[in-house]
Amino acid sequence: MLKAHTHSTPALLLCAFRPFFLFTALGGTLAMAAWALFLGGHIALPTLPAGPIAWHGHEMVFGFGLAAVAGFALTAVPEFTSTRAVATRIVAALASLWLIARAGFLIGGVFGAWLAALAETLLVAGLIGALAPRIWRDPDRRHLSFLWALLAMLVTVVGYHFDTLIEGGGGARWLHAATGVLMVLMVVAMSRISMRIVNAALEDRGEKDVAYLSRPPRRNLATFCIALYTALEFLQPASAISGWVALAAAAAMFNLTNDWHVGGALFRRWVAMLYTVYWLMAIGYGLIGLALLADLGTLSGGRHVLTVGAMGLGIFVIMNIAGRVHAGVEPDEKPWVPLVALALVTAALTRATVGWLEPTLSLFLPAALWILGFAVYFAHAWPVMSRQRSDGQSGCAGLPES
């Protein structure tokens, strides 16, 4: 049962998704803007032991991605396990750790890097501490996949900082591993969300004889293939066997989309966007496999389809659905939502062409589309998340039943 907050609770702390989804959008916008300005030779990035490329990858995965994971998990797990909302003081502490990590990188140097490392490690450990008892005490333990994924994320955070601060490496393989963990988390999270969204679309169309079911065998096969590729990429990077498993992950993701073929409901905006995330995952792993086995395209292109495309679009859609429903308002049906989704898909596919097109198109256009997309989201999300609820509900509760 979700805990009721009083009106004395600051609006931004009424539920965990509020600060973290705003961090996701604002952090993703500013970090990408800084990266684009750096590539254009206009600014210098924070001075870190691992260099500017490591900073960019880190901010996209452990800044942008981790903020979204924290906001979703701290909101969804109490709902899934029918337990009280995470205490406001815990949300505030975890949000502060995310900000401290960003401040550490702005400070730069060894001290700043160590500060960021400590803050991020405590952030993920705090997530696990807040959510693990709820997941474990659930009678059927139906949500253990969230716990395993969070533990894997903790390993990648510690591994990244150990590699960059102690070993003197760039942390790339840990970032790639964290990307794999994020892909698994997205499949797990979207399987829960899609059950409601697709079946609601079917109900709206009056298709009572058709139902959508996120089938565990297909989902488990997809997550297994992604996890196996992630492990092989970490242990044997750029190997032929990694290429074959990447293709297997692509095939498993395409197979997972078969659950979604339920007729015209597939073309409803929220259903179509969630469906597209799976396609982007399949395309990303397919491009990685082709790059490793046939030297077609680049590994970077495939990875950016996963991060800019699947991760970016998936997080955008989840924030628009969960971030509004749990704030007491219906998901936004205005045209800006599909336009931003289209911009993110275009950014991902254009970024995959790096080395084939002019840098203005393959690097700066995707960055501009990403910045525009999440800046627009922030502008629409801020008025909702910075005010108290007006629907008679409190805290993290969903929309009242009609």
Query: According to the model, what pLDDT value does residue 355 have?
Result: 66
Please tell me the predicted confidence (pLDDT) of residue 150.
Answer: 96
How confident is the model at residue 340, as a pLDDT?
Answer: 98
Cβ contact 182:61 at 8 Å = yes
295-323 tens-digit pLDDT: 888 899 999 999 999 999 999 999 999 99
Does residue 402 register a pLDDT over 60? no
Are the CB atoms for 374 and 28 separated by under 8 Å?
A: yes
Q: Could you give the CA distance from residue 20 to residue 360 in angstroms, rounded to a whole number?
A: 32
Token duo for residue 386 = 């910075």
pLDDT > 90? residue 356: no
pLDDT grade for 4, boundaries at 50, 70 and 90: very low
Residue 358: the pLDDT is 72
What would the pLDDT profile of 221-266 be if each residue is shown by its tens digit?
999 999 999 999 999 988 999 999 999 999 999 999 998 888 888 9
Per-residue pLDDT tens for 169-208?
A: 888 999 999 999 999 999 999 988 888 888 888 888 877 7
Token pair, residue 11, equals: 């609006």
pLDDT tens for each residue of 91-148: 999 999 999 999 998 887 788 889 999 999 999 999 999 999 999 998 878 889 999 9
- Kindly state the DSSP code that residue 258 receives in the 8-state scheme: G
pLDDT band at 17 (very low <50, low <70, confident <90, very high): very high
Angle of helix 17-39 relative to helix 312-325, nearest 10 degrees?
A: 150
Model confidence pLDDT, tens digit, residues 264-279: 889 999 999 999 999 9
- The beta-strand segments (E) located in 140-253 are none
Place of tokens 């509020």: 18
As a whole number of angstroms, the distance between CA 335 and CA 337 comes to 5
Given a cut of 60, whether residue 326 has pLDDT beyond it is: yes
Q: Each residue of 365-378: pLDDT tens digit?
A: 999 999 999 999 99
Rounded Cα distance, 214 and 192, in Å = 8
Percent of the chain residues past pLDDT 90, beyond the cut:
68
| pLDDT in the model for residue 401 | 64
Give me the pLDDT at residue 395, please.
82
Q: What is the pLDDT of residue 49?
A: 67
pLDDT of residue 3: 46
- Residue 117: the pLDDT is 95
Which pLDDT tens digit goes with each residue over 67-88?
999 999 999 999 999 899 999 9
Return the sign of the alpha-carbon dihedral for residues 227, 229, 230, 234.
positive
